[in-house]
Amino acid sequence: MTAASELSYFASADGDIAYLDTGTGDPVVLLHAGYVDHRLFEAQTPVLAEEYRVIAVDIRGHGWTANATRPYRWADDLADLLRHLDVGPAVLVGVSMGGAVAGDTAIEYPELVRGIVVSGASVSDFQYTHEETRKIMAESHRALHAGDIEGWLKIFLRAVSGPFRSPDELDPRLLEHLRDMAVHTVTKHTPGERDWHVPMTDTWARVPKIDVPVLMVNGTLDVPDLIADAELFAGTVPNGRSVLVEGASHLPNLEKPEEFNAIVLDFLRSL
């Protein structure tokens, strides 16, 4: 596990942004899923750092990064950090929410990006149509609003397991890792507090303008409409492709780390 003392901090205009900075070479930025933090990539960071400078960020309100106190956008935060570090253009590797951050940043700040890997995500204003997934998301929102952390955790783990399995079918160590990260992030917040995040809109109309190489990575057991949307994303950009990881769901980097690492390294070496 990464110790907090190993992290670096960027003093943004609205509090510190925490990140792990390791390795040397061309920059690769790792962007985690919602409710967790940079530790989601513990199986990727040391492997990628053998060839690249790896910057694993805690997105605002997550991990050791400050909560927002005013309106913000994911892409603006990341652009400020990359400019502070004087790195770029960088390859952005994002999982779930982090994949949406990668896409948003490629749209808004193309000069800072030379490629993106998007896993378990598509555009940032994507809306699930899968009925069971929409039900889970509604239950999650209600539990968080009520301050029912334990109930919310059960829903969260159900969501990351995908629509075709229960959490009991996943490695218990994986579930415990997710639980630790999620508790750390969720308990930074108070029930019902204001969400200051300002979503980007009309992102699909701007996807064709993403002129860097794009790789979409999805688990075969993830939500079908998300997989279909990712395939559409890959076909919409000028230089995109999509791959599937067998036997994984929403977080293939956790469930199939060796396969995920090989896919990402192949993409990075091709740039």
Tens digit of pLDDT at every position of the chain (271 positions): 555 669 999 999 999 999 999 999 999 999 999 999 999 999 999 999 999 999 999 999 999 999 999 999 999 999 999 999 999 899 999 999 999 999 999 999 999 999 999 999 988 887 767 777 778 778 878 877 888 899 889 989 999 999 999 999 999 999 999 999 999 999 999 988 899 999 998 899 999 999 999 999 999 999 999 999 999 999 999 999 999 999 999 999 999 999 999 999 999 999 9
CB 134 within 8 A of CB 158: no
Contacts (Cβ under 8 Å, ≥6 apart) of 75: 101, 104, 105, 107, 108, 109, 200
Signed CA dihedral, 232, 115, 36, 198: sign only: negative
- CATH number listed for the domain at residues 4-128+199-269: 3.40.50.1820
10 Å CB burial of residue 89 (0-12, 13-18, 19+) is middle
Give the global pTM.
0.96
Q: What is the 3-state secondary structure (H, E, C) of 45-57?
A: HHHHCCCCEEEEE
pLDDT of residue 129: 74
Q: Could you give the CA distance from residue 21 to residue 55 in angstroms, rounded to a whole number? A: 5
Per-domain boundaries in the chain: 4-128+199-269, 131-186
Which strands form 15-22's sheet, in the order they lie side by side?
8-12, 15-22, 53-57, 27-31, 90-95, 113-119, 214-219, 240-245
